[in-house]
Amino acid sequence: MPAMAKAKKKARTGNARSAARLAAVQALYQREMVGGTVPGVLHEFHRHRLGAVIEDAEYRPADAGFFDDLVAGVAARGGEIDALIAANLAEGWAIDRLDRPLKGLLRAGVYELIARPDVPTVTVIDEYLDVAHAFYDARETGFVNGLLDAVARTARGEVAAA
């Protein structure tokens, strides 16, 4: 295929949404670490992170609308999301015991499960497992899988295909 044809080929939506999910997890982590308003974090990511080159690392173009929905949705429904996470933790565990990146990842995944019925359950779980694999070992990714699957059963009445 000629180089020009490749350049004009439209990026797959899944890739842009995958990039949006990763960026949303990063934005949620940043917001938890340093605070700030949702519009401020969205503005920063739009101007400086989504599709940018930072320290020689090129970030894939992200579906900006999807990214905005994830970050703003988690902020708007935080209490409901945290309650679903807490309800699916093992006895003796509290959401405060989870590290901040993991909380951001779970919050984004849970938000998608409860607010984005247009995204299939298996897609949501697979996408956040991919994000988890970038930061965590098998134990933590198994935890993410189990928790998101449990929330899907509660919120969507579905069991994800294994």
pLDDT tens track for 90-138 = 888 888 889 999 999 999 999 999 999 999 999 999 999 999 998 888 8
Residue 84 belongs to domain with CATH number:
1.10.940.10
Asked whether residue 2 is domain-assigned, the answer is no
CA dihedral 143, 31, 115, 131 (to 10 degrees): -40
**pLDDT one-digit tens code per residue, 40-57:** 988 888 887 776 655 555
| CB-based contact 155:113 (threshold 8 Å) | yes
With bands split at pLDDT 50, 70 and 90, how would you rate the model's confidence at 7? very low
Q: Domain of 33? A: 11-156
How many contiguous H segments (helices) and E segments (strands) does the chain have? Answer: 8, 2
Can you spell out the DSSP letters for 49-102? Answer: TTT-EETTEEPPP--HHHHHHHHHHHHHTHHHHHHHHHHTSPTT--GGGS-HHH
Check residue 8 and give its pLDDT: 40
Asked whether residue 41 is domain-assigned, the answer is yes
**Mean pLDDT along residues 13-40:** 88
> Which pTM was predicted?
0.84
